[in-house]
Amino acid sequence: MSISSKLRGFKVADSKRSRICGVACATLSDLRLKGCRKLNISNSEASKVAILLQDGTFVEDDDYFQTLPAQTLFIFQKKGETALTGYQILYNALQAVHSDYLHCGEEAMKFFDRTTKDKLLKLLKNSSQNEEKKSLCHLSHRNEHPEWFEPLDTRLQTKEDYMSSRARDRVRGYLYKTQDELRKRTDCRKQQKIIENVLAKLKAQLTKDGHFGSYFDRKTKVISNRFCNPSGYFQCEGRWDVGKCLYHENLHGINPYESHEMMVIFSTWNLDHGIERSRTIIPSLLEATKIALDCDKEDKLNWEYFYSLLFTRSNLRLVHIVCHDKGSHTSRTCDPGEYFMECKNR
């Protein structure tokens, strides 16, 4: 079976995001067929449905579809409808909650016009600098601050529970993307066996480490893993090649524990790999598995080195969206001397 014909899992939603379903498909036409069924779109309408990504990009050919990762969300837009982009979802979420921060909705929409970004940054600065003074910031339980929890799962009883789940979701996302890319980039069965063994070890260690839910948990016992201070205030750690925030020291900061609006805005912050996951770590891990196969070193493969690069703070920085450089990190590479334990020990 060719790579392009393998079933992969995706998500489909209607233009208003009122219904989101999971589908497993191998081609764009398969996605259209199953997506329309899931979303109750009639056969007469199915051929006229436009398929879009969250940023508004139209997906019209199978070659492009095959380049998209599993779990991508596709918007099915029927004729005459207007699909909501991810940015509009953020805007609507901010407007939905009536509070002193209602103006954030307007500013968040303007943020994506680079000429007006400073207005939103100043707004965030004002709120983040005063976070210690907020009477609701220190509250944790649902019954103490119900407005913070209004749109969330009723099973979540504390802010720390929710923030931990957000951190775990991000780390799981890195695992799933790594797994998909490793499996796609090799067709050698013996090498695939080594890769599956490495993936099993990565998954086991992540389970042991709680999928690093401690990253966003202000009350975690693993303080060295926590990105925030004890009150829940997060500071931008700056672009990967600079080592500090590009803006004023206190400008890029936020406390999502303060209000629901701040928590929504915090979702736009990124965990950035200094040594890039897709461009550098994955190819290096594939190279290491190939060497292990050729030189009979499978049991000496230093999977812990790649684990640290993929999931730990040794290679992750929490950055504001403005400080997230998505260009190639050409000066940061993996160390071949760490690929195998015998090389490392020597």
Q: Residues of CATH 3.10.20.10 domain(s) within the chain?
A: 3-77
Residue range 225-243: mean pLDDT, rounded? 90
Assess whether pLDDT exceeds 90 at residue 76. yes
pLDDT band at 154 (very low <50, low <70, confident <90, very high): confident
Q: Pick 3-77's CATH classification: 3.40.140.10, 3.10.20.10, 3.40.640.10, 3.40.50.1470.
A: 3.10.20.10
Residues 6+ apart with CB under 8 A from 193: none
Give the pLDDT mean for 10-18. 89
What is the rounded CA–CA span in Å between residue 146 and residue 310? 36
Mean pLDDT of 217-246: 89
Pairing of the two strands 73-77 and 8-14: parallel
**pLDDT tops 50 at residue 272:** yes
Q: Which residue has the tokens 């004729």?
A: 79
| Cβ–Cβ under 8 Å, residues 289 and 301 | yes
What is the structure's pLDDT at 126? Answer: 55
Higher local confidence (pLDDT), 61 or 5? 61
Q: What is the predicted pLDDT for the residue at 134?
A: 55
Q: How far apart are CA 189 and CA 194, in angstroms?
A: 9
Average pLDDT over every residue of 18-22:
89
Q: For the purposes of burial, counting CB atoms within 10 Å of the CB of 338, is it exposed (0-12), middle (13-18) or buried (19 or more)? A: middle
DSSP notation for 194-249: HHHHHHHHHHHHHHHTGGGGGGS-TT-S-GGG-SB-TT--EE----TTTSS-SS-T
Candidates 238, 232, 326; CA nearest to 279 is: 326
CA-based nearest residue to 269, from 150, 166, 138, 126: 166
Dihedral sign (CA 97, 101, 105, 106): positive
For 248-266, what is the mean pLDDT?
A: 85
Q: How many residues does the chain have?
A: 346
- Torsion angle of C-alpha atoms 98, 55, 159, 119, degrees rounded to 10: -50
Rounded average pLDDT over 217-242? 91
- State residue 249's pLDDT score: 55
pLDDT digits over 84-143, tens only? Answer: 665 555 555 555 544 444 455 455 555 445 445 555 555 555 555 454 445 688 899 999
Average pLDDT estimate for 7-28:
91
pLDDT recorded at residue 89: 59
Beta strands in the chain (DSSP E): 8-14, 20-25, 50-52, 73-77, 234-235, 253-254, 270-273, 316-319
User: So what's the pLDDT on residue 31?
Assistant: 94
Phi, psi angle pair for 217, to nearest 5°: -95, 110
pLDDT tens-digit map of 279-309: 999 999 999 999 998 888 888 999 999 999 9
pLDDT of residue 92: 56
Query: By percentage, how much of the chain surpasses pLDDT 90?
Result: 51
